[in-house]
Amino acid sequence: MKEHPDKPSSGEKDRKFVTALARGLDVLRAFEPRENLLGNQEIARRTGLPKPTVTRLTYTLTKLGYLSYNKELERYQLGMGVLALGYATLANFGIRQIARPYMQELAEQVNASVALGAREKLSMMYLDHRRASSEVTLRLDIGSRIPIGTTAMGRAFLAALPEVERGYLMTHLERRLGTDEWPGVRAGIEHGCEQYAKHGYVTSVGDWEREVNAVGVPLVETTNGDVFAFNVGAPAFLLSHERLENEVAPRLKYLVQNVQAAITRI
């Protein structure tokens, strides 16, 4: 199975680490908002686990209510147990409630999507997402996962990390992407770090999706050091590079300042 930064590597021995539990969580992570019906073969491919292992895990997770099985399609989908955990988790992210009105206001002002996310393995996961009423919608919503290395949100997150932590994640990202794809992704991340140091924001201009432009700004909670990231994104014909930097980036920085101030007052 592929290594990732949220578990001990194959060379590490950690007697407290429960491999069976980690594998079960890997199965649940295989499901995405736009692909919510998966068979054992597809889950095995996505997780790198042997199919017999996946079969046992999906059976157990179904018995516990974390998966449900569609007999007609012979596919699994996330069950109510996961939904309950998800709502409980999101409810504990006070930053969502604080940021939401600011996000909606900005979405209407710039006619674009505004999102809040956090790292999930080597991806960024949307914790909240606000849209303008007249926006040409990007097909993303709460729970969606986007790449950490090519998106404005991901680059903003990486730019805000201490250098050692960023290097650790980049090492794992290099292993995943390989020698062909990694050099371009690394250059984008390094450029994002330079942008953030100089301007306080990070951009992605057609780097993730050719016709999508976005700007990202991180937020670091001063109480516990948790790092979140906000982004504003839209199709390139609505959000040019010039508008991104001259209008949208300053507004997003102001949003993050307001959210940071509100969190500090709690």
- 134-160 average pLDDT score: 86
Cβ(151)–Cβ(204) below 8 Å: yes
Together in a domain, 236 and 106: yes
- β-pairing, 202-205 with 145-147? unpaired
Together in a domain, 80 and 128: no
CA distances from 134 to 78, 114, 131, 181, 257 (A): 32, 13, 8, 36, 26
Cβ(167)–Cβ(135) below 8 Å: no
Cβ(253)–Cβ(201) below 8 Å: yes
Together in a domain, 68 and 182: no
pLDDT in tens, 208-242: 999 999 999 999 988 778 899 999 999 999 999 99
Count of residues making up the chain:
266
Confidence at 94, pLDDT banded by 50, 70, 90: confident
What is the reported pTM? 0.75
Question: Average per-residue pLDDT in the chain?
Answer: 88
Domain boundary among 63, 85, 107: 85
Together in a domain, 30 and 148: no
- The domain in which residue 203 lies consists of 93-265
Together in a domain, 103 and 166: yes
pLDDT at 81: 79
Domain boundary among 85, 116, 137: 85
CATH code of the domain covering residue 32: 1.10.10.10
Which residue type occupies 69?
Y
CATH code of the domain covering residue 233: 3.30.450.40
**In total, how many domains does the chain have?**
2
CA-nearest of 157, 219, 220 to 192 is 157
Q: Which residues contact 93 (CB under 8 A, 6 or more apart)?
A: 127
d(CA 122, CA 154) in angstroms, rounded, equals 9
Cβ(146)–Cβ(208) below 8 Å: yes
